[in-house]
Amino acid sequence: MFEKLGTETRNQKTMALDQMSTREILQVMNEEDQRVPQAILTQLPHIEIAVDRVIESFRNQGRLIYIGAGTSGRLGILDAVECVPTFSASPEMVRGIIAGGLKALTNAVEGAEDDEELGKMDLARIHLSERDTVIGLAASGRTPYVIGALAYANSRGATTVSISCNPGSKMSAYSDIAIEVETGPEVLTGSTRLKAGTAQKMVLNMISTAAMVGIGKVYQNLMVDVQPTNNKLKERSKRIIMEATGVDYETAGTYFEKADHQVKTAIVMLLLGCPKKEAAEKIKRSKGFVREALSDLRR
């Protein structure tokens, strides 16, 4: 069964990979990587449904939970961690779980991905509920740990999504929404950290970003819920205020401080000419959507 998976077959373009020049290796890798966006294009209808379900989870105080093993698990954790500073999401709102625990981020944990029960236990440990959306990640589409997790998520009434890189994957049968990005043979046979890893990362980018847009974390194309936890992000916050309102750097900085480093609040204060408390109330009434909070400006 394993040898029939597209991600495990040999790439006929690279049968002499060990004899290629550095430039030739880079050229063929670049050519193969260009296939990934086209493979994702075929799955956009399924990705759209997944995004809508994630938005529904967020609106019901549910969570987005990524779960996988190896490279797939690491990619899920990476996307989850980045949601905190980018969207001021709490660490609980988007979570990444990897087979073998945090140790598996830097070291292989023998046998962890082969244990279905471990996948169930890891989700049970975080008190999974029907409000949550669980996204199982596995390039092969057959990892027992992820299948066990999806089966448990189904039993709890959570929304289940699978992301794999082989058509008709076993994992798809355990998910409400199956995303199958057929990336084909890798340049280095079986090394699914390459095209398959790229495909999974791109799909996760789409899901988390589009879902955050859907709950008001973005105004225009600006990350207005950025969490300014360091100097770089503080400077970015001021630039966002400048872009959204047209004010100069000094004014943006002044309102950034007046708004207690809340970019959304500063924008509404500037555009509506209102005090911080009123701006914050308008944002709360609009459920975080800046455009709706600015409705007074359009009247």
Catalytic residues: 82, 113
How many Cα neighbours within 13 Å face the side chain of 65?
28
The answer to whether residues 174 and 136 touch, using CB atoms and an 8 Å cutoff, is yes
